[in-house]
């Protein structure tokens, strides 16, 4: 059934020079930001319209060729990598803002726009798009992987901030999900189904996103805790008291040391919380003061407020540069980044067990967490020349996933499944994984949309 030659000829007729088959094109789309690797696609397509995307998918369907979407290549789990060749659809040329509706606090965009470009475009509206996974990912990729990040504790994840989609299905049909209204009770939540479906049910060609008012005032603080358990306990009390941190980030001892060294800041080598409040000047001042009290009751010291924009920027730059900072803490190391999420009541135990597990082996692994969500990451620093360390990192990653499940959590809070976590889906979902498989089969019976991902494989 598969006939790549005929398919590629049809695609070239459709796209001309916007179909790439040179080795460099293919290689560029065979590696994303981390260690995860797969095979090469047979071609890369750069469509400019939804009609072109629909025709690409229809041609691939007719010839039995796989199709995977590509955003900015910032996936940490290899979501967009080809497992069976086929065509990688790169959305770089579909990066427009289609409509800003400030009264409705809503924007309509093409999937290839990055979150930084979107927020630049929104600058004069008094509104912003809050979801911030760290990397300057595309909105299409963020929706496909259900991304979140530091601000999810207040503003939610992509699940909460995508109002509607346009999607090209496996047979080339184009559908719209959602409406312009803020909510609906009319039928299955297809928007929610496609968000996080990792390209296995269709390609997202347009997104309607929810916007939020730029806060009038922002207050940021950082403080040190005697141990991770005390920091987590402070977060639980903060949330239960009804404070609404816009971000509340944990850096463990090792992460604090690496980040402070890299940023030239003077932080004690203890676990830290970075916290930020958004609102009116009076509200953020009140919430920051209440947080300081809660933190102090849990043994926090060295609390530093950063209310001036330049101090705030320095602190969050440090947090956002955590990955290079941690990499720099072991020169020559390769980073293996893994992510789990647990009930917040289990977070201190999950982090403590993970730290002990890391300490018992050869691979350093500073820990960072979006602690208000129970979500944390280990950045395992592996000597690429050492098969032993690589194997140790794999075992640590596996035990983190198993630990998260044992503690009632999920094997990934925000990085997604991709190629790295497929082996845990049965353990996490049980027979519900077969329901995902049944939905996949119903919408993509030939299994051509991002094959080898997310659902049970035959």
Q: Among residue numbers 26 through 45, which ones bind a copy of itself (CB under 8 A)?
A: none
How is 217-257 classified by DSSP, letter by letter? EEEEEEEE-SSHHHHHHHHHHHHHTT--EEEEEEE-HHHHH
Binder among 88, 151, 161, 410 for a copy of itself (CB under 8 A): 410
Closest approach, Cβ 411 to a copy of itself, in A, equals 6
Site map (CB under 8 A) of a copy of itself, residues 147-166, x = contact: xx---x---xx-xx------
Beta bridge partners, 304, equal 222
207 binds a copy of itself, rule: CB under 8 A: no
Q: Does 438 bind a copy of itself (CB under 8 A)?
A: yes
Subset of 359-388 contacting a copy of itself (CB under 8 A): 373-375
Among residues 74, 108, 151, 177, which is the contact residue for a copy of itself, using CB under 8 A? Answer: 177
Contact between 108 and a copy of itself per CB under 8 A? no
CB nearer to a copy of itself: pick between 212 and 319: 212
The interface with a copy of itself within residues 211-230 (CB under 8 A) comprises: 212-213, 215-216
Q: How far is CA 446 from CA 53, 66, 92, 276, 299, in A?
A: 18, 9, 27, 47, 58
Indicate which single residue of 45, 89, 127, 250 sits in contact with a copy of itself (rule: CB under 8 A). 127
Residue in 324, 343, 387, 423 binding a copy of itself, rule: CB under 8 A: 343
Question: What span, in angstroms and rounded, lies between the C-alpha atoms of 341 and 405?
Answer: 9
Considering only the stretches 218-226, 305-313, 387-395, 412-420, report the one whose residues sit in contact with a copy of itself under the rule CB under 8 A.
Answer: 412-420
Stretch binding a copy of itself (CB under 8 A), from 18-26, 80-88, 170-178, 387-395: 170-178
Closer CB to a copy of itself, 148 or 354, in the complex? 148
H helices of 300-454, where?
A: 309-320, 322-328, 347-359, 387-406, 425-429, 432-443
Beta strands in 125-216 (DSSP E): 127-128, 162-169, 174-177, 202-210, 212-213
The full DSSP string for 87-125 is EEEEGGG---EEEEETTTTEEEE-TT-BHHHHHHHTGGG
- The smaller minimum CB distance to a copy of itself, of residues 361 and 437, is found at 437
48 binds a copy of itself (CB under 8 A): no
User: Is residue 102 a contact residue for a copy of itself (CB under 8 A)?
Assistant: yes
Please report whether residue 179 would count as binding a copy of itself according to CB under 8 A: yes
Stretch that binds a copy of itself, among 87-95, 179-187, 316-324, 379-387 (CB under 8 A): 179-187
Binding of residue 344 to a copy of itself (CB under 8 A): yes
* Interface stretch with a copy of itself, choices 45-53, 269-277, 353-361, 436-444 (CB under 8 A): 436-444
Compare residues 110 and 412 and give the one whose CB is closer to a copy of itself: 412
411 in contact with a copy of itself (CB under 8 A): yes
The answer for residues whose C-beta is within 8 angstroms of residue 197's C-beta and 6 or more apart is 144, 454
Per CB under 8 A, 458 contacts a copy of itself: no
Q: Which residue, 10 or 198, is less far from a copy of itself as judged by CB?
A: 198
Q: Which residues pair with 67 in a beta bridge?
A: 87, 449
> How far apart (Å, rounded) are the C-alpha atoms in residues 41 and 89?
10
User: Considering the complex, what minimum distance in angstroms separates the CB of residue 8 from a copy of itself?
Assistant: 28
Distance (Å, rounded) from C-alpha 14 to C-alpha 89? 13
Q: How many residues bind a copy of itself (CB under 8 A)?
A: 94
Q: What is the DSSP letter of 298?
A: T
Helix axis angle, 309-320 to 253-263, nearest 10°: 120
Closest by CA position to 252, among listed 363, 368, 364? 368
**Closest distance of CB 298 from a copy of itself, Å:** 14
Among 6, 27, 98, 241, binds a copy of itself (CB under 8 A): 241
Indicate the helix (H) or strand (E) that contains 272: strand 272-279
Reading the block at residue 11, the tokens are 């695609």
State which residue, 42 or 410, has the beta carbon closest to a copy of itself: 410
CB nearer to a copy of itself: give 192 or 361: 192
Among 14, 193, 327, 446, binds a copy of itself (CB under 8 A): 193
Q: Is position 195 an interface residue for a copy of itself (rule: CB under 8 A)? A: yes
Q: 385, exposed or middle or buried, with CB in 10 Å at 0-12, 13-18, 19+?
A: exposed
Give the one residue of 2, 261, 433, 446 binding a copy of itself; rule: CB under 8 A: 433
Of 387-406, which residues contact a copy of itself (CB under 8 A)?
404
Tokens of 288: 């920051």
Rounded Cα–Cα distance for residues 17 and 12 (Å): 7
Q: Is 424 in the site for a copy of itself (CB under 8 A)?
A: yes
**In terms of C-beta distances under 8 Å and separation of at least 24 residues, what long-range contacts does 354-359 make, across chains too?**
354/378, 354/396, 354/399, 354/400, 354/403, 355/228, 355/252, 357/396, 357/399, 357/400, 358/396
Cα 374 to chain centroid distance, Å, stands at 15
Copy the structure tokens of residue 386: 């050492």
Q: Taking Cα atoms as reference points, which of 246, 214, 104 lies closest to residue 164?
A: 104
CA distance 28 to 23: 9
Which residues in 257-296 contact a copy of itself (CB under 8 A)? 279-280, 282-283, 286, 290
């Amino acid at each position: 059934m598969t006939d790549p030659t005929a398919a590629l000829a049809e695609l070239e007729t459709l796209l001309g020079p916007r179909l790439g088959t040179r080795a460099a094109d293919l290689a560029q789309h065979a590696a994303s930001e981390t260690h995860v690797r797969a095979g090469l696609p047979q071609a890369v397509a750069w469509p400019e319209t939804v009609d072109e995307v629909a025709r690409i998918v229809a041609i691939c369907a007719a010839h039995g060729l796989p199709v995977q979407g590509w955003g900015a290549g910032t996936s940490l789990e290899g979501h967009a990598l080809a497992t069976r060749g086929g065509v990688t659809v790169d959305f770089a040329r579909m990066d427009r803002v289609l409509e800003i509706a400030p009264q409705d606090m809503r924007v309509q965009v093409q999937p290839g726009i990055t979150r930084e470009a979107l927020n630049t475009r929104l600058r004069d509206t008094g509104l912003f798009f809050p979801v911030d996974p760290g990397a300057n990912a595309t909105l299409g990729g963020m929706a496909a992987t259900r991304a979140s990040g530091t601000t999810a504790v207040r503003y939610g994840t992509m699940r909460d901030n995508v109002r509607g989609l346009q999607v090209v299905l496996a047979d080339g049909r184009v559908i719209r999900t959602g409406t312009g209204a803020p909510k609906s009770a009319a039928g299955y939540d297809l928007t929610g189904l496609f968000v996080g479906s990792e390209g296995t049910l269709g390609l997202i060609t347009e997104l309607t996103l929810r916007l939020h008012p730029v806060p009038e005032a922002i207050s940021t603080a950082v403080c040190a805790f005697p141990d991770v358990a005390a920091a987590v306990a402070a977060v639980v009390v903060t949330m239960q008291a009804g404070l609404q941190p816009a971000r509340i980030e944990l850096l463990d001892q090792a992460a604090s040391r690496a980040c402070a060294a890299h940023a030239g800041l003077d932080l004690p080598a203890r676990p830290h919380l970075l916290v930020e409040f958004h609102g009116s000047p009076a509200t953020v001042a009140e919430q920051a003061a209440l947080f300081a009290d809660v933190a102090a009751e849990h043994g926090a010291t060295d609390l530093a407020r950063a209310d001036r924009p330049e101090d705030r920027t320095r602190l969050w730059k440090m947090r956002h540069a955590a990955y290079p900072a941690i990499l720099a803490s072991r020169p020559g190391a390769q980073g293996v980044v893994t992510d789990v999420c647990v009930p917040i009541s289990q977070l201190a135990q999950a982090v403590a067990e993970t730290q002990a597990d890391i300490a018992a082996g050869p691979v350093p692994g500073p820990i960072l967490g979006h602690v208000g969500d129970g979500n944390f990451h280990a950045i395992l620093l592996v000597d690429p020349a050492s098969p032993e360390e690589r194997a140790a990192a794999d075992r640590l990653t596996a035990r983190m996933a198993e630990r998260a499940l044992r503690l009632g959590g999920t094997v990934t809070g925000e990085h997604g499944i991709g190629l790295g976590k497929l082996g845990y889906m049965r353990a996490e979902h049980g027979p519900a994984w077969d329901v995902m498989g049944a939905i996949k089969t119903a919408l993509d019976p030939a299994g051509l949309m991002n094959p080898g991902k997310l659902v049970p494989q035959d």
